[in-house]
């Protein structure tokens, strides 16, 4: 029987489901919250390492992509796609997260093609840091997947797309983001005018960098541009330690760092875009971070809470299925 992650909250909840069968005043729970402490995404984890995820949202169906070494019995990392159905019952106050399409079955034919693209990028190396971008064109969904691979040595940022063809393109390097060192975890800012990523191009530690781009340019045309772009160090987010895995949602950037002052290993931090600059990074604190490693956070609107967003991250803390497991938590 499929393992289902079910969480019952004993507070008042919001359930923004797509159903319109009842008016709000007929539901017992019209407002609610996501959990404030991390919960294991047991339906998606294995005894191997599962992390480096991406999850653009479509209502409460999440096309969830993440890296795992499960298929190689703990060796190289591949990117895996699984549908994530998030639902909140406004009568029973139960939040359920399943690895299935559920009531969103009509989207299966659109999303299953993602697996074809992932088969194209699979190598004997490590594919990490997926960032899936969905573009709607008439009745068709187009997918652009950014990721990194170390098949040639150092990690380089590549992409694939099915925008201009029925099948996914062959992997292509994003030339202006890469260097002779490692380059990983690309993420666009909210208005698509910058691409942030992490790299160890200037030394032994990873820092966060960005490139200014034309927000009006088609994304695939931009990524295929072989012209040189100036790369800037984001000093407000970078430290003397490793700062990795940036991810932007609205005006917030989240990332992982093993800088001094944390709880141990890699911790998760956030910063807000205010007055045309990033604020000083803030540690999420011991409610989310542990003495172990927390890594690769992503944030998205799961349409359960009006005041919170869902953050998914990986951690090798005790109590999981083994290795790095995926967890979720609600953040303001």
SS3 string of 189-204? CCCCCEEEEEECCCCC
* pLDDT confidence of residue 27: 58
Encoding tokens for residue 231?
């790369």
Predicted local distance difference test score (pLDDT) of residue 10: 28
| pLDDT (mean) for 271-292 | 98
More reliable by pLDDT, 25 or 120: 120
- Residue 330 pairs in a beta bridge with 310
Q: Which residue has the tokens 């989310």?
A: 288
CATH number of the domain within which 288 lies: 2.120.10
The 10s digit of each residue's pLDDT in 49-104 is 887 777 666 558 999 999 999 999 999 999 999 999 998 887 888 888 999 999 89
> Strand pairing of 78-88 and 61-68?
antiparallel
Residue 241 belongs to domain spanning: 5-331
Look-up of token digits 């984890």: 45
pLDDT surpassing 50 at residue 20 = no
Count Cβ atoms within 10 A of the Cβ of residue 24 and give its class: 0-12 exposed, 13-18 middle, 19 or more buried: exposed
Query: 174 near 220, Cβ under 8 Å?
Result: no
C-alpha span between 94 and 87 (Å, rounded)? 8
pLDDT at 4: 38
What average pLDDT does this structure show over 143-163?
98
Q: Compute, in degrees rounded to 10, the torsion defined by CA atoms 174, 121, 326, 75.
A: -120
CA distance 134 to 191: 15
Higher pLDDT, 194 or 19: 194
- 39-40: strand order across its sheet: 39-40, 325-331, 309-315, 294-300
- pLDDT above 90 as % of the chain: 74
For all residues of the chain together, what is the average pLDDT?
A: 89
State mean pLDDT over 107-119.
96
- Across residues 14-41, what is the average pLDDT? 60
| pLDDT per position as a tens digit, 214-271 | 999 999 999 999 999 999 999 999 999 999 999 999 999 999 999 999 999 999 999 9
pLDDT tens for residues 36-48?
999 999 999 888 8
* Predicted structure pTM score: 0.88
How many domains are contained in the chain? 1
At 2 the pLDDT is: 35
> Could you tell me which residue, 191 or 203, shows the higher pLDDT?
191
């Amino acid at each position: 029987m499929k393992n289902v992650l079910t969480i019952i909250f004993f507070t008042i909840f919001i359930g923004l489901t797509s159903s319109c069968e009842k008016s709000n005043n007929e539901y017992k729970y019209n407002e609610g919250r996501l959990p404030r402490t991390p919960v294991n995404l047991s339906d998606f984890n294995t005894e191997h390492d599962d992390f480096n995820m991406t999850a653009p949202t479509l209502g409460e169906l999440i096309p969830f992509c993440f890296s795992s070494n499960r298929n190689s019995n703990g060796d190289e990392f591949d990117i895996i796609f699984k549908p994530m159905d998030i639902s909140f019952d406004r009568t029973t106050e139960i939040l359920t997260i399943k690895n299935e399409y559920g009531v969103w079955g009509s989207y299966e034919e659109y999303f299953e093609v993602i697996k074809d693209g992932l088969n194209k990028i699979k190598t004997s190396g490590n594919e990490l840091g997926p960032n899936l971008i969905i573009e709607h064109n008439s009745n068709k969904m187009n997918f652009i997947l950014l990721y990194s691979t170390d098949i040639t040595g150092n990690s380089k940022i590549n992409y694939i797309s099915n925008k201009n063809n029925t099948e996914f393109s062959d992997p292509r390097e994003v030339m202006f983001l890469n260097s002779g060192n490692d380059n990983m975890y690309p993420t666009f800012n909210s208005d698509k005018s910058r691409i942030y990523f992490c790299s160890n191009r200037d030394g032994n530690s990873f820092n966060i960098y960005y490139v200014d781009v034309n927000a009006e340019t088609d994304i695939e045309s931009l990524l295929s541009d072989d012209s040189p772009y100036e790369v800037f160090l984001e000093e407000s987010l970078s430290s003397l330690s490793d700062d990795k895995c940036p991810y932007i949602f609205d005006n917030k950037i989240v990332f992982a760092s093993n800088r001094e002052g944390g709880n141990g290993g890699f911790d998760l931090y956030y910063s807000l875009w205010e007055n045309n600059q990033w604020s000083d990074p803030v540690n999420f604190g011991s409610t989310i971070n542990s003495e172990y490693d927390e890594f690769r956070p992503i944030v998205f609107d799961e349409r359960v809470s009006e005041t919170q967003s869902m953050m998914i991250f990986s951690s090798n803390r005790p109590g999981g299925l083994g290795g790095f497991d995926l967890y979720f938590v609600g953040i303001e």
